[in-house]
Amino acid sequence: MIIDVHTHLCDYDSVAKPFWDGWAELAALRVNRPLEKVQRRLPEFWDISGDMMVKDMDAAGIDKSVLLAIDWGLARGLGEPKLSIEVINKVYADAVEKYPQRLIAFAGIDPRRNKAAELVDRFLKEYGMKGIKFHTAAGFYPNDKACYPIYEKALEYEVPVLLHTGEVLKPFHFKYCQPIYAQEVAMDFPDLPIILAHTGGCWYSEAVAICNNTTNVYLDLSVWQPRLLRPLEFYRALRTLLDSVSWQRVLFGSDYPFLKLLINQERWVKAFTEIPDVVKEQGIEFTDEEIAGIMGGNAAKILGLTG
Ligand SMILES: [Zn+2]
């Protein structure tokens, strides 16, 4: 089974316009294209029904995707999107209702919101959401005690928590996203599965160290797609990661739809399921057990999908 543990539903109404302006500006610089051209392609990302995602999952052979609701409304310089946080979470829940066999949703909430824990309780109970996502770049640390009642809710409902770690584009401050702040959470909630998104991003070593010294921390591979542009380096990095933390801690993810124009879902999945012979010839090898675990076996256990 192939499970993508890190995806989003996006449009102008659920993620405020300044984010998209910043995204387009940076993307244009990175790929050396005119800004207007990149902006014109933005609507290709927009789908809050799940239709586009499921179509792309079908093409790639992905069985299930975890949708992570985003709450950036309190972030300085961004502002609230058109939709309220209740509605955004409901949009995610509705997509799951439309595709119950294919989609799973995590509630997204900023713990500084009024009655955040009560809202989370509602999202988990009434909307049937199966995890919690904190995007700390909005301006809080994951070990802030305001987060703790929400971690308690995750324990009560036996669902995992996914924390953004690593860099984020402007206007966010990514000091909040350093994995070290998650270490205290992992210590205080040893029974709570905690996924560090992007394997810590620019703080890779820190994320690996935390994973290695705890029993409840996992790492997702979303946003590793650009590494594929240099395939041997990608496979070497993946091998090093598996040798560092063991394959049971590593989860396939994409951060869909943000990188689909660079490396689509089909190509990203094939990077793991159809490893080119030249990689093996270089002495970089992966077992079937490792690939099966990364691609879905590990996530199925954390998500309680294994009967
Ligand atoms: Zn993401």
The model's pLDDT over 47-80, given as tens digits with 9 standing for 90+, comes to: 999 999 999 999 999 999 999 999 998 888 788 8
Distance 282 CA to ligand 1 centre (A): 32
Q: What is the pLDDT of residue 282?
A: 95
Listed range (2-11, 41-50, 111-120) with the worst mean pLDDT: 41-50
pLDDT at 102 over 90: yes
Confidence of residue 226 (pLDDT cuts 50, 70, 90): very high
Q: Is the pLDDT of residue 285 over 80?
A: yes
Given a cut of 90, whether residue 201 has pLDDT beyond it is yes
**Res. 307 pLDDT band, cuts 50 70 90:** low
CA-wise closest residue to 165 among 149, 181, 151, 152:
181
Ligand 1 centre to CA of 258 (Å) is 8
- Confidence at residue 217, expressed as pLDDT on a 0 to 100 scale: 98
Residue 190 has pLDDT above 70, yes or no: yes
Closest to 271 measured CA to CA, from 257, 289, 252, 256: 252
| Gap from CA of 79 to ligand 1 centroid (Å) | 18
Residue 82 banded pLDDT, cuts 50, 70, 90: confident
Tokens (6 digits) for 40: 């014109």
Distance CA 6, CA 66 (A): 6
Q: Are strands 3-7 and 161-163 parallel, antiparallel or unpaired?
A: unpaired
Tell me the CA–centroid distance for residue 289 and ligand 1, in Å.
27
Bridge partners, 197 (sequence order): none
Cα 208 to averaged position of ligand 1 atoms, centre (Å) = 19
6 Cα to the center of ligand 1, angstroms: 6
Q: Give 244 Cα–ligand 1 centroid separation in angstroms.
A: 24
The gap from C-alpha 133 to its chain's centroid, in whole angstroms, comes to: 8
- Ligand 1 mean position, distance from CA 209 (Å): 22
Helix 180-188 vs helix 204-212: crossing angle, to nearest 10? 20
Ligand 1 centroid to residue 278 C-alpha, Å: 31
Q: What is the pLDDT of residues 237-284, one digit of tens each?
A: 999 999 999 999 999 999 999 999 889 999 999 999 999 999 999 999
Strands (E), the chain: 3-7, 64-68, 103-108, 132-134, 161-163, 194-196, 217-220, 250-251
- Span from the CA of 69 to the centroid of ligand 1 (angstroms): 9
The amino acid sitting at 84 is S
Greater pLDDT, 150 or 75: 150
- Tell me what pLDDT residue 16 has: 82
**Does domain 3-302 match CATH 3.20.20.140?**
yes
Q: 255 CA distance to ligand 1 centroid (A)?
A: 5
pLDDT on residue 306: 82
Where does the pLDDT of residue 12 fall: very low under 50, low under 70, confident under 90, or very high at 90 and above?
Answer: confident
**Ligand 1 centre distance from Cα of residue 197 (Å):** 7
Q: What is the tens place of the pLDDT at every residue in 20-39?
A: 888 899 989 988 999 999 99
CA 56–ligand 1 middle distance (angstroms): 17
* pTM, two decimal places: 0.96
Residues 6 or more apart from 143 whose CB is under 8 A from it? 181, 182, 184, 185, 188
Q: How far is the CA of 277 from the centre of ligand 1 (A)?
A: 31
CB 134 within 8 A of CB 147: yes
The pLDDT of 39-47, averaged and rounded, is: 88
Say how many Å lie between the CA of residue 155 and the centre of ligand 1.
23
CA of 179 relative to ligand 1 center, distance in Å: 15
CA of 281 to the centre of ligand 1 (A): 34
> What does the domain layout of the chain look like in residue ranges?
3-302
